[in-house]
Amino acid sequence: MLSRDQVWELARSVHPYGVQVRRDLHRNPELSFEEHDTHRYLAAALQELGCSFRSGLGGGTGLQVVIRGAQPGPTVALRADIDALPIQEETGLPFASQRPGVMHACGHDVHTAILLATARALQTIKDDLAGQVVLIFQPGEEKNPGGASLMIRDGVLDDPKVDAIFGLHVEPYMEAGRMAFAPGPVMAAPDEIRVTVAGRGGHGAAPHLTVDPVLTTCQIITALQQVVARNVDPFQPAVITIGMIQGGSAHNIIPDEVSFVGTVRTMDPQLRRMMPERIEAVVRGVCEAAGATYRFHYEHGYPMLVNHPEMTEIGRQAAVTVLGAENVQRMEPSMGGEDFAYYLERVPGTFTRLGARAKDNTSPHGLHTSRLMIDESCIAVGVAYYIQVVQDFLASTNQGA
């Protein structure tokens, strides 16, 4: 088993490789389930590293790597997501996205670089491992049904059978060199609503001859905020956000229809079951009062992400080993969604936050923004953590046996 100094020596040795991978991927981002160039890039890199892998998974662009230790033992999985977002990059970086309107604005390029660099590191120490390591390069984290569910369908947790799984996500508001952990529910279940309000269009100067879907939609959106304010326990986290409205063609025309799309976030199964009925009741009531009709669609997204207590402690202790206790903090719950939750429904594991803010960056931009900046030193931190947590899990499980 490598010492802390040896873990860091190995992580630092693969860090330049990880940085190069990150920049290559950042220049060439691809949207969810369209990661064909990324898939080819990763396959070529894994072949060069001498890794055994399966490709074409999770809808076509996912990969599964199996690194087998010299001795038999349990199987631990690590996961990275590989997709980007429909955002025009405005960072001005020399390796900024070369694809208009697409950017790695959620840090998945960093996650992938960390995992590929970890593969390179583990290849050099696999003879010292008692067990197997499965590396999952997963597409489509940003889009339903979630690439995790498709990778599971394709057997990434079954062949070989995975005993535990660990994942991470960059956090641009937390300083690089720090990590955060928490057991139990830490991320929300993200659902989606799509509504079309149908009225009767006409001239803007004669609204009395119309059924105005614009005004009706405005009233619905306002009324929806009362669902959280007046139907949800104040101690129960919930969010309803309308992120897109479409309708109309000119300033003086009342349209026939207006559509809007939103997200519903909950962290309680009972509340999640209540939301569709309550939201549609608001839509129905406002439309009936206005004389309009509607089309309503509610789509359930990923499950709530629940970290396994024992695996979270193994992960936290691994981070303490490589970073020191002063650099490991408690992760606050988030209303963000993450399809890593699907893996955690199947096997015990934990999902952690990896600091990615440069010390001199006093005004960081958040995830899903066009100016997200990452301190690339976090790549070495992520690799060191993964090496340590693999060692710790395999050792603890083998000792338990």
Active site members: 83, 141
Number of Cβ within 10 Å of residue 159's Cβ equals 12
Residue identified by tokens 């990896």 is: 354
Q: Decide if 303 contacts 190 (C-beta within 8 A).
A: no
Rounded Cα gap, residues 252 and 202, in angstroms: 9
Environment class of 245 (CB within 10 Å of its CB; exposed 0-12, middle 13-18, buried 19+): middle
Rounded Cα gap, residues 49 and 123, in angstroms: 8
Environment class of 42 (CB within 10 Å of its CB; exposed 0-12, middle 13-18, buried 19+): buried
Sign of CA dihedral 172, 64, 385, 316: positive
Strand partners, 298: 193
Q: Is 111 helix (H, G, I), strand (E, B) or coil?
A: helix
Q: Decide if 395 contacts 175 (C-beta within 8 A).
A: no
